[in-house]
């Protein structure tokens, strides 16, 4: 009888490795380990995390792949300069947002996302189909109908952006923008605090984007999308002097 591979006992090492990678990334991104500083030897890390040297060795390779460390035979492992980090990596970007006390990373993220999505909005205005317009209308109507229902409104908002991005045909911009947005949404810092009229203002901004796309005004679609993303972030942005929740 063939035994399913899912029924076999699994080695816990991969999960342990994930925890070690996240802890090491946090130590580097938070500044606990500074660029140029050496990581502790394998033996010390093994004892600290309670895992084998093999798990430590593989975990260090993973953070090397993320650009956070440099491994030199005979000289050990040192923290790489910030410019070498892969900031689009899921673990790295999540940690950057987590330790971003001044919101500088989220400010940058919003600017980059606005640039990418505004270009995609222009592309969508030029090439949108009637089926895609119907999808956008449907998401707008869901937003109108759910001004008092936060979860439904936010879901319709995200769906609207998803259609704009996918309809643009710009796969690279879509992939990068989605990575940025997904990581940001994991943080309560990015969600911030909604002003009393935020949903109505947000709806009006989406309607302006839709009108530009529907009339195939690429320049206006780009302008309204960029303004919407930047303004929406500024409305939600928390004061930097208050204690933040992750």
Domain span at residue 190 reads: 100-236
Q: Are both 143 and 64 inside the same structural domain?
A: no
Arithmetic mean of pLDDT, 158-176: 96
Residues 118 and 144 grouped into a single domain: yes
242 or 50, which is more confident: 50
pLDDT at 31: 94
Read off the CATH number of the domain in which 122 is found.
1.20.120.530
Find tokens 């689009």 and name the residue: 88
Tell me how many degrees the CA angle 211-213-215 measures, rounded to the nearest 5.
Answer: 70
CB 79 within 8 A of CB 34: yes
Is 60 a domain residue?
A: yes
What's the average model confidence in pLDDT over 56-78? 93
Q: Does 177 reside within a domain?
A: yes
Same structural domain, 74 and 110: no
146 and 105 in a common domain: yes
End residue of a domain, out of 84, 110, 131: 84
DSSP string for residues in 15-35: HHHHHHHHHHHHHHHTTSS-T
3-state secondary structure of 156: helix
Predicted confidence (pLDDT) at residue 78 exceeds the cutoff of 60: yes
Task: Answer whether residue 244 is part of any domain.
Answer: no
Do 138 and 223 belong together in one domain? yes
For residue 77, is it within any domain?
A: yes
Answer yes or no: is 187 within a domain.
yes
- Lowest mean pLDDT of 2-6, 71-75, 169-173, name the range: 2-6
Claim to verify: residue 123 and residue 174 sit in the same structural domain:
yes
* Confidence band for 192, pLDDT divided at 50, 70 and 90: confident
- The model's pLDDT over 106-133, given as tens digits with 9 standing for 90+, comes to 999 999 999 999 999 999 999 999 999 9
What crossing angle do the helices spanning 150-168 and 130-145 adopt, rounded to 10°? 160
Domain CATH number, residue 24: 1.10.10.10
* Domain assignment of residue 29, yes or no: yes
Total number of domains constituting the chain: 2
């Amino acid at each position: 009888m063939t035994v399913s591979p899912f029924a076999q006992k699994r080695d816990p090492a991969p999960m342990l490795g994930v925890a070690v990678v996240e802890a090491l990334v946090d130590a580097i991104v938070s500044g606990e380990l500074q660029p140029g500083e050496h990581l502790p030897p394998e033996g010390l890390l093994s004892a600290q995390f309670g895992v084998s040297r093999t798990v430590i060795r593989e975990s260090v390779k993973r953070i090397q792949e993320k650009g956070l460390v440099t491994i030199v035979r005979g000289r050990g492992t040192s923290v790489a300069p910030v410019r070498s980090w892969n900031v689009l990596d899921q673990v790295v970007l999540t940690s950057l947002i987590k330790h971003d006390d001044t919101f500088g990373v989220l400010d940058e993220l919003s600017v980059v996302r606005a640039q990418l999505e505004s270009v995609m909005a222009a592309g969508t205005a030029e090439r949108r189909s009637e089926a895609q317009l119907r999808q956008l209308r449907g998401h707008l109507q869901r937003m109108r109908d759910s001004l008092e229902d936060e979860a439904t409104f936010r879901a319709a908002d995200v769906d609207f952006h998803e259609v704009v991005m996918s309809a643009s045909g710009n796969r690279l911009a879509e992939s990068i923008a989605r990575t940025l947005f997904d990581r940001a949404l994991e943080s309560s810092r990015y969600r911030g605090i909604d002003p009393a009229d935020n949903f109505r203002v947000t709806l009006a901004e989406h309607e302006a984007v839709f009108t530009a796309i529907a009339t195939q005004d690429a320049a206006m679609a780009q302008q309204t999308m960029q303004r919407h993303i930047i303004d929406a972030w500024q409305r939600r942005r928390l004061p930097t002097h208050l204690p933040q929740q992750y």
